[in-house]
Amino acid sequence: MTATTKLPAPAPMAGKDQPVDWLLVYKFNAASFPGCTDDGVTPKTGTKGIFGGTVDVYKSGHSQQYIYASSKHPSFVKGEGCVGATYTDPLGATFAQVYDTPGYYYVLWNDQFYNNPIKKEGAPMGHSKGMLAWNEEGEGFVMQVSTPSWPASGSKAHPRQNDGNTLGCINDDDVEVGQHFFAVKINKDDLVTILKALDNSSVVTSTAHPEIVQNGGPADVQALVNALGKESKSKDCTVSKLSGGIRLISKPSLMAAPPWQIVSAQLGGLPLRVASWWAEPMIYSTTADTPIGCWPAGLGKPGPVAIATSGTWAGTSIGLTGGEGTNHNHAKMGISTDSSKPISIFGDMNQQGALGPDYAYTGQICSSSQNGRGGLFYVVEDAELFKSMTALLTGDTAPESGPNGE
């Protein structure tokens, strides 16, 4: 690029040179669809990752098989190859345009970088992971990821040290369990909105590390980027609409309430079915009448929130709970259970915490676990995507009675 050449806006990619307005990728767990494509083959140790690193030896399993949908084809289709590890798969193509091209600005945030380059953070910092990338005009994309420790470098000019930066080449066993990736095309106004939402949810990042922040573009954007990485003092959710019609909900850490009930309330009491890293302290399924003691005044009433413990793809059952082992899920996805409202939701947060004091154990407080952390939720209204998501999340459901019979 010459000094007078403007970089085009980076965009979500459904494949190499296939820009779309939004992109969703769901990576399966190792029990349901192991290896890559349908070959069941785990890549050999020593294989070079295209964005840095070598393929790891996983504790108990590996899967980079995936399905994906986009604004141009909102129904899920099965992808080919190893997701995130090639220049032609949707995730690899989306990331590569920024990583391999000098001159783009970016912010990466993740509460689980594991000291490469910054330390892991717990509450009250946000339980949020993702990437923003933009050009001089502030146009680009935002990508929400559920993967610990990836991505951790936004440019090959600043390679990650002491760990990989390619999906499947990370010391954290990020490809053993299910993960999701959701990217949206944005304009400059959207960029400002998202940066404010990130600040509200206390995301973990640092402008001191060029691997994860390259600041630039419009002056107001730069100022917002410089403010990130600190604990927010906000107690209020923000709800915004991006230029493409997708809604963005930002939960602050100081709103100490169950995350997906908050989402339901922000959507007018919409009944939900949710898959996440469902593990202790578990928040069980709730009805519209389930008492919730951990609830801010004035927030509104949530609808029922059912916890999906298994799903289905191509006749194969997929585990959707959290825990050690191959048949678990780390994606955070929800759907409306009201068919007249075809809404799909992609979030940062697990359904772990408390409905009220002493909910999961004696002495538990309202800010327990995910209740006391921040995160983002993208709300998409699309009938075709909703149909595919509903099919994917069809399976078993957690009971409504909590751990202490509540």
Instruction: Transcribe 254-313 into DSSP letters.
Output: TS-S-HHHHHHHHTTS--EEEES---SSBPPPB-TT---SS--TTS-----EEEB-EEEE
- Residue 401 burial by CB count (10 A; 0-12/13-18/19+): exposed, middle or buried? exposed
Output the CA–CA distances (angstroms, integers) from residue 136 to 97, 312, 405, in the order listed: 15, 43, 55
* Residue where the block lists tokens 């009220």: 356
CA gap 117, 151 in Å, rounded: 11
| Alpha-carbon torsion angle 233, 236, 237, 241, nearest 10 | -100
DSSP single-letter state for residue 91 = H
Query: Cα separation of 232 and 128, whole Å?
Result: 14
Nearest to 250 by CA among 263, 269, 261: 263
Q: Tell the residue number behind the tokens 């676990």, with chain if given.
A: 369
Tokens 């399905």 locate to 67
Determine the Cα–Cα distance for residues 304 and 85; give it in Å rounded to an integer: 38
In angstroms, the CA 276 to CA 293 distance is 22
Q: Residue 380's CB: how many other CB atoms inside 10 A? A: 23
Coil, strand or helix: which one is 406?
A: coil
The whole-angstrom separation of Cα 380 and Cα 384 is 11
pLDDT number for residue 40: 44
> Could you tell me the two tokens for 262?
């908050």
**Is-contact 74 384, C-beta < 8 A?**
yes
One-character DSSP codes across 339-362: TTS-EEEEES--SBS-SSTTSSST
For residue 306, give both structure tokens. 């059912």
178: closest CA among 88, 76, 64?
Answer: 64
Model pTM score: 0.96
- Identify the helix (H) or strand (E) that includes residue 184: strand 179-186
Distance (Å, whole) CA 101 – CA 127: 29
The domain limits of the chain are 22-392
Q: What does the pLDDT read at residue 174? A: 81
Contact 152, 112 (CB under 8 A): no
Give the Cα-Cα-Cα angle 119, 120, 121 (nearest 5 degrees): 115
Name residue, tokens 């709300």. Answer: 379
Give the pLDDT of the chain (406 residues) as one tens digit per residue: 444 478 999 999 999 999 999 999 999 999 999 988 654 444 444 567 899 998 765 556 889 999 999 999 999 999 998 999 999 999 999 999 999 999 999 999 999 999 999 999 999 999 999 999 999 999 999 999 999 999 999 999 999 999 999 998 998 878 999 999 999 999 999 999 999 999 999 999 999 999 999 999 999 999 999 999 999 999 999 999 999 999 999 999 999 999 999 999 999 999 999 999 999 999 999 999 999 999 999 999 999 999 999 999 999 999 999 998 999 999 999 999 999 999 999 999 999 999 999 999 999 999 999 999 999 999 999 999 999 999 999 999 999 976 555 5
Structure tokens that stand for 323 in this block: 């825990």
Cβ neighbour number for residue 218 with a 10 Å cutoff: 15
Question: Which pLDDT score, from 0 to 100, does residue 36 have?
Answer: 86
Tokens of 30: 């190792």
Angle, alpha carbons 180-243-8 (nearest 5°): 80
Q: Please tell me the total number of residues recorded for the chain in this structure.
A: 406
